[in-house]
Structure 1
Amino acid sequence: MESLKAMQQKKKVVFILGATGTGKSKLSIDLATRFPAEIVNSDKIQVHKGLDIVTNKVTEVEKRGIPHHLLGVLDPEADLTVSDFCLLACRAIEVILENDQLPIIVGGSNRYIEALVDNETFGFRSKYECCFIWLNVATQVLYSYVAKRVDEMVSSGLVDEVRNVFQPDADYTKGIRQAIGVPEMDQYLRLEYEVNEETRKELLKRAIDAIKDNTCKLTHRQLEKIHHLQNQPGWNIRRIDATEVLLKEGKEAGDELWEKLVLEPSTKIVEHFLYGDGCDAPDTTGTGCDASGSNGVYACNPFYAQLGVL
């Protein structure tokens, strides 16, 4: 067991977990306007440059001036391994802490987050005290929402965006082309100028339906991983239910519910984590947060140099 002195020397890091479409990015930005914080993206696809619509990156306006790290910085063709992410995230966290800011790690790649926190190579738990907040939405409500969001992405130019990077011999297992929304468009883009209008519309519909289906499957895997983490030692995750907010999404009542049901409870959790009794305090939300951290292990590798982090 760690000594009290060692615990007191740890820096603090907040993690925002959740499936695609639950509002993780919005919550992280809202929290960063209430605390001196910067955000580290932990979505393995959003780390790459390009395909901003397909990957649903936050816009400059949505960032509201909050610095974001590891967002749209990697070459689209590069393949980001779990180890690569951990090294880059550790460096970003150190830079943020050196600036006397709170690191907020947010994204849906929970396997990467688990490796960052639990892989002994990085010594994360020996250095950082962490608070885990899970933004959750009832499954059927979330499925309906992500389907609607795919339609909005199509209206915003998803098809043209994918067409601009389409290559007949592309490898959909590497780089940004792994993103849901790219492989599904392959058949449509191969045949769109070779078939009649009716067939073209049908091919596009199939592609969009496949994007929706695969996005729902992704949310299921993400939730399974979070439930797995909940049952692991040291992963006392605080759950915030945003179901009612998503049901009112886009309405004035939705904004009020976001403030009441998501932002205020999350703010209180972070306030207590930073200024209260940390993770040992009673948990009024029925979940918890845990002490964890990183030892800053880096390799002299051109992969990291291209991002300007070494």
Structure 2
Amino acid sequence: MDREITSQLKDKVALVAGGTRGASRAIAVELGRAGATVYVTGRSGAGEQSEIGRQESIDGTVGLIEAAGGTAHAVRVDHLVPEEVRQLAERVDAEQGRLDILVDGVWGADFAMEWDTPVWEHSLEASLRMIRSGIESHVITSHFLLPLVIRQPGGLVVDMTDGTAEYNQHYRTGTTLAFYLAKAASHPLAIAQAAETEPYGTTAVAVTPGWLRSEAMLDHYGVTEATWRDALTRVPHFAISESPTFVGRGVVALASDPDRRRFSGQTLNSGQLARIYDIDDVDGSRPDAWRYVTEVEAQGKPADTTGYR
């Protein structure tokens, strides 16, 4: 499949909230590569270190989009501050008069997680921060930006999450209550958005990548995208991992599908999108991470991706 700049989404306007790094950054890049004008928002501008101590920035994402041949704008916004999101909506309206694609990937609260800690021992401040980042910010963003999306029929809303609806029905061992709530909330959020925007011809879905080789994950394992397989000696199941570009390509395919409303209210995952739209990851493989996690890793079986990528 040709990965040069295309005109799939020419004349479309997209906004990726929380597009600083990870899956959201890759989605922003792929939307730009497909011809959309992309607004990238987040709290980390050029030369600033994020709250979690990382150097990625919204300006860096814009640079990647421009390098891919796309057009983009970086707008520094804290999506937990309603006035800043209101001003963002006003700017997009004034400059474009429309918003065709809204991707809400706001999170940035990994630093607040205390693993293997029950709610009564977990920092209350940190727990509430995860709830605010994973739920409150998405409600604020929807309140101010959905009026632009529904202005014209055919809009698309994507709420990024971590885990399928089926997988997130169960509490994840090792996490904590607030993290579980923050991630599981994306599924009913998409259902509610789908119902409320249905009269306007809008599609609303939740989307999850699989085991993501994000910048932070690669650093955690001491590898790069080129050398990620070196981590398999320590973490064998990392063999099912995927690049952020994989889910980015999936979201572009969804946004380009004239019949995408059939998915409204659902949670879609990167492997599922790959099957539907015939998409490969950057290495030519097609990882089906959540099926693997459920059928292999969760069952205590040895790492073996045969039939899963």
TM-score w.r.t. length of structure 1: 0.43
TM-score w.r.t. length of structure 2: 0.44
Q: Which has the larger radius of gyration?
A: 1
Which one has more relative contact order, counting CA pairs under 8 Å at least 6 apart?
1
